[in-house]
Amino acid sequence: MPISCVSDRNEMEGSNNMTQMLPTHSTTTIVTASKHDELSGLESAIMDACNELHAARDGQDQEGIEIFTQTLLSLLDSYDATDGDNHPNPAWARANQRALANSAMGNIERAIALELTALKYADTPRRKEISCGNLADRFIRLGDPSSAITYFLDAQQQSPDSIPVLLTGAVAVFEAGFAQHAETIFATLLKNPALLTPNSELTAYLELDRRTRHAAESLDSGLKLLAKLQSMKQQNGAQS
């Protein structure tokens, strides 16, 4: 579910920073940063442009698609020219960011190939988590939940409590036909009320990611989470 970088869904990618949109196209997603202080200026700009491009593709906005594609290509050139905005591991970061951009452009197979390259250079648990989480998300979007599950398990091994990773896994197992496994993940999230707050990652995915919401609407614990989300929004609205 996108760091010194970001990831698709995982830009796990502290604070939640994402364009407020609801993707409806089967190959669009959301890009977030769970640890926003890890992002450089260029990485933040790339993340924002990716979200804008996902939204433009989702809305079939041809002008927006052209504008944000060119914006991304220009940002990537700057990122490459500065060794990943002076990233400590530019070999990983440059491939990761190009994978994000290609994902936003709809080039999912190319994004997978680039992220597999990034994974080869992932030298920390965090970077492995990000790349594996991204691969899981992209294989879901490619219609291959079985491969998605493999990378979800790899990402979970690096970060068992990551909300984007858990939700990506829930979608993967749900779409692979293992609804009870998805129910177990949502039930685990439901047991921790602290996860569902106005600016939390769990709230963002339940509100903004259509695949997550579809799985939740099909499961008992998911429906209970959505009911709690709606109650929280109503309470916040009454207090504002």
Check which CATH number belongs to the domain holding 77 and give it: 1.25.40.10
pLDDT digits (tens, 9 = 90+) for 109-125: 999 999 999 999 999 99
Residue 181 inside a domain? The answer is yes
Residue 2 inside a domain? The answer is no
Q: Angle 220-239/201-208 helices, nearest 10 degrees?
A: 100
pLDDT digits (tens, 9 = 90+) for 177-218: 999 999 999 999 999 999 999 989 999 999 988 899 999 999
Place of tokens 């990716």: 50
Place of tokens 């989300």: 229
State residue 9's pLDDT score: 54
Q: Which two tokens stand for residue 96?
A: 């990761």
Total domain count, the chain: 1
The pTM score is 0.85
The band of 27, judged by pLDDT with boundaries at 50, 70 and 90, is: low
State residue 5's pLDDT score: 42
> Domain span at residue 169?
7-239
pLDDT digits (tens, 9 = 90+) for 148-173: 999 999 999 999 999 999 999 999 99
Residue 1 inside a domain? The answer is no
State residue 173's pLDDT score: 98
Contacts of 45-48 with CB under 8 Å at 24 or more apart are: 45/75, 46/6, 46/72, 46/75, 46/76, 46/79, 46/97, 46/100, 46/101, 47/2, 47/6, 47/11, 47/13, 47/17, 47/18, 47/100, 48/19
Residue 138 inside a domain? The answer is yes
pLDDT digits (tens, 9 = 90+) for 40-83: 999 999 999 999 999 999 899 999 999 999 999 999 999 999 99
- Count Cα neighbours of 27 within 13 Å in the Cβ-side half-sphere: 16
Task: Answer whether 208's CB lies under 8 Å from 22's CB.
Answer: yes
- Rounded Cα gap, residues 135 and 152, in angstroms: 8
- Count Cα neighbours of 124 within 13 Å in the Cβ-side half-sphere: 10
Task: Answer whether 99's CB lies under 8 Å from 118's CB.
Answer: yes
The band of 33, judged by pLDDT with boundaries at 50, 70 and 90, is: low
Residues 175, 176, 179: CA angle, nearest 5 degrees? 75
Task: Count Cβ atoms within 10 A of the Cβ of residue 15 and give its class: 0-12 exposed, 13-18 middle, 19 or more buried.
Answer: exposed
